[in-house]
Amino acid sequence: MKASAISHSNIALIKYWGRQEDGGRGMNLPLNDNVSMTKEGISGGSKLMSHTTVEFSRSYEMDSMVLEGRELTGRELERVRLVVDPLRTKAGVEEHFRIGSRNDFPTAAGLASSAAGFSALAIAASSALGLDLSREELSTWARLGSGSAVRSLHGGFVYWHKGSSHETSFAEKVCQGAPFPLNAVIAIVNEGRKGVSSDVGHEHAHTSPFNSIRTELSQKEALLVRDAILDNDLRTVGSIAERNSKYMHAVMMTSDLPLYYWQGETLKVIRSVHAMRDRGLEVYFTIDAGPNVHCLCRPEDALEVQKELEGGEHVLRTIIARPAEDPHTIDEHLF
């Protein structure tokens, strides 16, 4: 009863921020449908990938998990159990688990490490338990660990239906990368852990006066972006993704737990993106819950965008990413 999986992280083009009221059941149902690209790093020595091994055995006296060499406790281990327990029950297994997980990129720095991690966890755990579940169903279980993990259950471009119940809030693939050639050049300006986790941030979204308008606009924009991806229309995808990201940060900054994920360096990267666009280079930005900036462009422009970004002293390094393949099980175990 042992299996391993790899899964990539994802960058939201239409954001998930704030959750539907569910009476404290922790279902992570988003307020609006949202869209992302599951991303594979192709430069900078990072594939933006999580590798996770799960084993159930009678020899384990309790559940445990090691992430990046660190033994998880408290809320962190609790979130892992939220994903594994229903799968363990489904399989009729009572054995405890041992889990090892490694990311090849900074954990909790707004690069969606939890998305890659919980997606790999759902795949490895279900495989170790001998369950044969569809990607859509697996996405609902990964969602219980971290909302955005739902979207990493598919490669390429992905649509998360917000739904209104556990079963109806799942991720569906829009398309693999080919119909919409897109790269994200990630400008890393800070690799540290973020001060406030998105897990906590979501809970405060409803206190912003801009929350309902962001939700309403995002619901419409999710559909527009899905269509534009299928039409290979970068201008529409990029410009909507850019403004949708700003809506999310406006909500973050104006909630009763004000969250300023941007740093001075973040704004400098935004200015570079504007300058490149003024020069006729088609590039757009989007920012998650951290200071780093994803610059969206055509693959043939990625090196030029990278060169421009790396020319700024405020950028520590860059990673170029493209649409990833589907996550899958692998034979190499971490322990």
- Chain residues binding ligand PMV by CB under 6 A are 12, 15-17, 34, 112, 114, 146-148, 198-199, 202, 288-289
CA distance 158 to 152: 8
Q: How far is the CB of 288 from ligand PMV (least distance, A)?
A: 4
Q: How far apart are CB 38 and ligand PMV at their closest, in Å? A: 11
202 or 204: CB nearest ligand PMV: 202
**Under 8 Å between Cβ of 172 and 154:** yes
Do 268 and 258 touch, CB atoms closer than 8 A?
no
Question: By C-beta, is 15 or 322 nearer to ligand PMV?
Answer: 15
Q: Cα dihedral angle (124, 129, 131, 137), rounded to 10 degrees?
A: -50
Residue 272 Cβ vs ligand PMV, minimum distance, rounded to whole Å: 22
Contact indicator for 131, 1 with CB cutoff of 8 Å: no
Closest CB to ligand PMV among 139 and 148?
Answer: 148
Question: φ, ψ for residue 120 (rounded to 5)?
Answer: -60, -35
Nearer residue to ligand PMV within complex by CB, 56 or 286: 286
State the nearest-atom distance from the C-beta of 258 to ligand PMV, in Å: 15
Residue type, 257: L
- Estimate the crossing angle of helix 135-143 against helix 113-128, to 10 degrees: 120
- Nearest CB to ligand PMV, comparing residues 191 and 199: 199
Residue 98 or 202 with smaller CB distance to ligand PMV: 202
What phi and psi values does residue 283 have, to the nearest 5 degrees? -145, 140
Q: How far is the CB of 25 from ligand PMV (least distance, A)?
A: 16
Strand 64-67 to 96-103 pairing: parallel
Q: Measure the CA–CA gap between 214 and 206, rounded to whole angstroms.
A: 11
Minimum CB–partner distance for residue 41 and ligand PMV (Å): 17
